[in-house]
């Protein structure tokens, strides 16, 4: 199915859901008339307790020595928004006479309505941030500006309608808002290809929030507001419980991911250390120094060039101790200096041919070199006349591709897999850091071909 169709379908389902909740809320509010039961008060107390529990959980996380996740901030704000919404609902308005305040004054109505609707918007804004920060909502500066303008404009229209006696039409901006948000968030979800439990929970929250608020507004505008009961207390429970669930599952998932990352980090450090240990071995260092010495005796200029190459190579090791990834063009420079050094050493020369179509991405340090070493070792290209290794890079729709091929004698790939530690190490680091796959294809007498497929960053979170 095409994306556009998916968006429309998803939006339609969402609008239907909102519609249903609105209808139920409206009908229940319309027919219940002006009963104020003790049940409703119990419900209110229960809702407040649930909300309080949520706030306590958030507070504990704030106070704990661990790093506070951005999800916690947004959760706190959404909880605050829902609390404000509840506090300014019709229930609270109806409770006012019991503490001796006359609720018939028209100002209370306006103040409560504005705050109620305002906190509803507030909640939506922070739900948006919840999506954006923690789910990497597609970055869209223009979209954010439009959202902000729509929200502000909508709010102004709402207030104008309310104050100039057209309160019957105040549900129109609310509908616009519901529609806009449904489309906007749905679209972003589809763009990111992510359909998991947390997303669905969040949708339910949003749906309930929008539906409940619409019902509330409808009841206000069509019924006489003093007789209105609405569903805000019931819906608030739903909202809070849903949000609680989302928050818990989110935290759980984050913890799991953090654990996984921790294990990966340990493993990566180990792999990286092994690479460095393998690269800076005494054999390599002293051999190179010996060659440099003899080059100096031959021609000081050649010796000086060799020193430059060697120090460039050593510098790369030092840098590799500080980060895992290196821009591709730099990794290729490291390979060039490696090949030039190797050519200084050997009697037979070989060359690496670069066919670089795209280089705006990163690879793990020294992750390509083992494949070059391997080609040298098994394909014997330096023994062949006109032997060469070719490194080719280009981009495909979803991946960056690196192909390392040679015209050597080839080897049995099943054999090499078990013997070359360097290749295994590279493979694992490519997989852990970039989610890349490596395939080795070699035929005796025809040379070998190594294909590295690195998924683009924005595709990596695809689940």
Partner 1 sequence: MKIIVVDDEIKSLHVFLDHVVSNTNFEYQFFKDDHNQILTYVKNNEIDGAFLDIKMDNIYGPDLAKELIKIKPEIKIIFITGLNYSYSTLPDDLKKNVIGIIYKPIKEVELSKYLLKMANEKPVLKVRMFGHFDCFMNNELVRFSSNKSKELFALLLTLNGKSLTMEHAITNLWPDKDVDKAKILYRDAIWRLRQTLHEIGFECVDFSRALVTLNKKKDSIECDYWDLLKGKDVFYNYEFCIPYEWSINYESEINYLYEKRQQFFKKELFMR
Nearest distance from C-beta of residue 353 to partner 1, angstroms: 4
Nearest distance from C-beta of residue 400 to partner 1, angstroms: 16
**What is the dihedral sign for C-alpha 184, 190, 193, 197?**
positive
Query: Which residue stretch of 21-29, 226-234, 350-358, 373-381 sits at the interface with partner 1 (rule: CB under 8 A)?
Result: 350-358
Considering only residues 180 to 209 of the shown chain, the ones binding partner 1 according to CB under 8 A are none
Instruction: Examine residue 390 and tell whether it contacts partner 1 (CB under 8 A).
Output: yes
> Is the distance from CB of 206 to CB of 181 less than 8 angstroms?
yes
CA–CA gap between residue 58 and residue 83 (Å, rounded): 14
Rounded to whole angstroms, what are the CA distances from 69 to 77, 251, 264?
A: 13, 9, 20
Query: Which residue stretch of 25-33, 135-143, 146-154, 316-324 sits at the interface with partner 1 (rule: CB under 8 A)?
Result: 316-324
Instruction: Examine residue 215 and tell whether it contacts partner 1 (CB under 8 A).
Output: no
Query: Which residue stretch of 47-55, 105-113, 300-308, 448-456 sits at the interface with partner 1 (rule: CB under 8 A)?
Result: 300-308
Instruction: Examine residue 115 and tell whether it contacts partner 1 (CB under 8 A).
Output: no
CA–CA gap between residue 189 and residue 181 (Å, rounded): 12
Of the pair 178, 328, the CB lying nearest partner 1 is at 328
The angle subtended at Cα 14 by Cα 8 and Cα 20, nearest 5°, is 135
Q: Which of 298, 308, 396, 412 binds partner 1 (CB under 8 A)?
A: 308
Instruction: Examine residue 451 and tell whether it contacts partner 1 (CB under 8 A).
Output: no
Query: Which residue stretch of 121-129, 134-142, 353-361, 421-429 sits at the interface with partner 1 (rule: CB under 8 A)?
Result: 353-361
Instruction: Examine residue 307 and tell whether it contacts partner 1 (CB under 8 A).
Output: yes
Q: What is the DSSP string of 174-205?
A: HHHHHHHHHHHHHHHHHHHT---HHHHHHHHH
Nearest distance from C-beta of residue 341 to partner 1, angstroms: 14
Q: Which of 257, 298, 299, 319 binds partner 1 (CB under 8 A)?
A: 319
CA–CA gap between residue 321 and residue 126 (Å, rounded): 40
Q: Which of 40, 241, 333, 424 binds partner 1 (CB under 8 A)?
A: 333
Two tokens at 92?
Answer: 């609270």
Number of residues that bind partner 1 (CB under 8 A): 19
Instruction: Examine residue 353 and tell whether it contacts partner 1 (CB under 8 A).
Output: yes
Of the pair 232, 379, the CB lying nearest partner 1 is at 379
- Closest Cα to residue 81, out of 114, 41, 127, 131? 127
Instruction: Examine residue 325 and tell whether it contacts partner 1 (CB under 8 A).
Output: no
Q: Which of 298, 355, 396, 441 binds partner 1 (CB under 8 A)?
A: 355
Query: Which residue stretch of 240-248, 352-360, 395-403, 439-447 sits at the interface with partner 1 (rule: CB under 8 A)?
Result: 352-360
Of the pair 307, 416, the CB lying nearest partner 1 is at 307
CA–CA gap between residue 111 and residue 40 (Å, rounded): 23
Residues 6+ apart with CB under 8 A from 86: 44, 47, 48, 51, 92, 232, 233, 236
Of the pair 136, 300, the CB lying nearest partner 1 is at 300
Q: Which of 40, 132, 253, 305 binds partner 1 (CB under 8 A)?
A: 305
> Is the distance from CB of 362 to CB of 414 less than 8 angstroms?
no
- Closest Cα to residue 29, out of 266, 223, 168, 245? 223
Nearest distance from C-beta of residue 365 to partner 1, angstroms: 13
Instruction: Examine residue 139 and tell whether it contacts partner 1 (CB under 8 A).
Output: no
Query: In 280-382, which ranges are continuous DSSP H helix?
Result: 282-298, 300-320, 328-345, 369-378
Instruction: Examine residue 354 and tell whether it contacts partner 1 (CB under 8 A).
Output: yes
Q: Which of 127, 189, 332, 436 binds partner 1 (CB under 8 A)?
A: 332
| Terminal Cα-to-Cα distance of the chain (whole angstroms) | 17
Nearest distance from C-beta of residue 321 to partner 1, angstroms: 8
CA–CA gap between residue 412 and residue 63 (Å, rounded): 59
Nearest distance from C-beta of residue 251 to partner 1, angstroms: 34
Write down the residue that tokens 């749905």 correspond to: 186
Two tokens at 3?
Answer: 């994306």
Instruction: Examine residue 385 and tell whether it contacts partner 1 (CB under 8 A).
Output: no
Instruction: Examine residue 342 and tell whether it contacts partner 1 (CB under 8 A).
Output: no
Instruction: Examine residue 322 and tell whether it contacts partner 1 (CB under 8 A).
Output: yes
Q: At what angle are helices 232-279 and 300-320 packed, to 10 degrees?
A: 150
Nearest distance from C-beta of residue 312 to partner 1, angstroms: 9
Instruction: Examine residue 329 and tell whether it contacts partner 1 (CB under 8 A).
Output: yes
CA–CA gap between residue 284 and residue 158 (Å, rounded): 76
Two tokens at 197?
Answer: 């439990």
Helix (H, G, I), strand (E, B) or coil at 325: strand
Q: Which of 336, 343, 437, 451 binds partner 1 (CB under 8 A)?
A: 336
CA–CA gap between residue 85 and residue 44 (Å, rounded): 12
CA–CA gap between residue 386 and residue 408 (Å, rounded): 10
Of the pair 40, 330, the CB lying nearest partner 1 is at 330
Residues within the interface to partner 1 (CB under 8 A): 305, 307-308, 311, 315, 318-319, 321-322, 329, 332-333, 336, 351, 353-356, 390
């Amino acid at each position: 199915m095409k994306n556009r169709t998916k968006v429309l379908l998803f939006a339609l389902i969402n609008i239907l859901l909102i519609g249903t909740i609105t209808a139920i809320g409206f009908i229940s509010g319309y027919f219940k008339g002006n009963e104020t039961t003790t049940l409703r008060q119990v419900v209110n107390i229960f809702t407040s307790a649930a909300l309080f529990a949520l706030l306590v959980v958030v507070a504990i996380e704030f106070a704990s020595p661990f790093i506070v996740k951005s999800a916690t901030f947004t959760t706190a704000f959404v909880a605050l928004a829902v609390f404000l919404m509840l506090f300014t609902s019709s229930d609270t308005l109806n409770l006012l006479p019991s503490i001796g305040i006359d609720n018939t004054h028209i100002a209370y109505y306006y103040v409560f309505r504005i705050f109620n609707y305002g906190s509803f918007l507030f909640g939506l804004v922070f739900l948006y941030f919840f999506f954006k920060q923690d789910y990497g909502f597609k970055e869209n500066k223009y979209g954010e500006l439009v959202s902000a303008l729509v929200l502000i404009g909508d709010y102004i229209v709402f207030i104008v309608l309310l104050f100039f006696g057209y309160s019957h039409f105040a549900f129109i901006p609310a509908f616009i808002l519901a529609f806009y948000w449904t489309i906007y968030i749905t679209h972003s979800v589809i763009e990111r290809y992510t359909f998991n439990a947390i997303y669905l929970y969040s949708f339910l929250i949003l749906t309930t929030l929008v539906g409940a608020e619409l019902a509330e507004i409808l009841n206000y505008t069509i019924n006489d507001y003093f007789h209105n009961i609405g569903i805000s207390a019931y819906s608030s429970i739903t909202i809070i419980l849903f949000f609680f669930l989302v928050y818990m599952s989110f935290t759980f998932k984050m913890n799991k991911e953090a654990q996984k990352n921790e294990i990966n980090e340990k493993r990566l450090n180990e792999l990286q250390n092994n690479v460095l240990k393998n690269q800076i071995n005494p054999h390599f260092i002293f051999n190179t120094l010996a060659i440099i010495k003899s080059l100096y005796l031959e021609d000081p200029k050649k010796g000086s060039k060799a020193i430059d190459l060697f120090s460039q190579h050593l510098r790369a090791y030092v840098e590799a101790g500080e980060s895992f990834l290196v821009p591709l063009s730099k990794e290729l420079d490291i390979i060039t200096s490696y090949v030039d050094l190797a050519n200084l050493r050997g009697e037979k020369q070989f060359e690496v041919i670069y066919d670089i179509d795209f280089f705006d991405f990163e690879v793990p340090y020294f992750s390509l070199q083992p494949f070059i070493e391997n080609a040298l070792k098994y394909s014997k290209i330096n023994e062949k006349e006109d032997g060469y290794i070719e490194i080719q890079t280009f981009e495909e729709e979803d991946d960056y591709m690196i192909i390392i091929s040679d015209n050597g004698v080839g080897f049995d790939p099943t054999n090499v897999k078990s013997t070359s530690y360097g290749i295994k190490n590279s493979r694992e680091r490519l997989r852990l850091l970039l989610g890349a796959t490596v395939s080795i294809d070699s035929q005796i007498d025809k040379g070998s071909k190594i294909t590295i497929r690195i998924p683009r960053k924005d595709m990596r979170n695809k689940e």
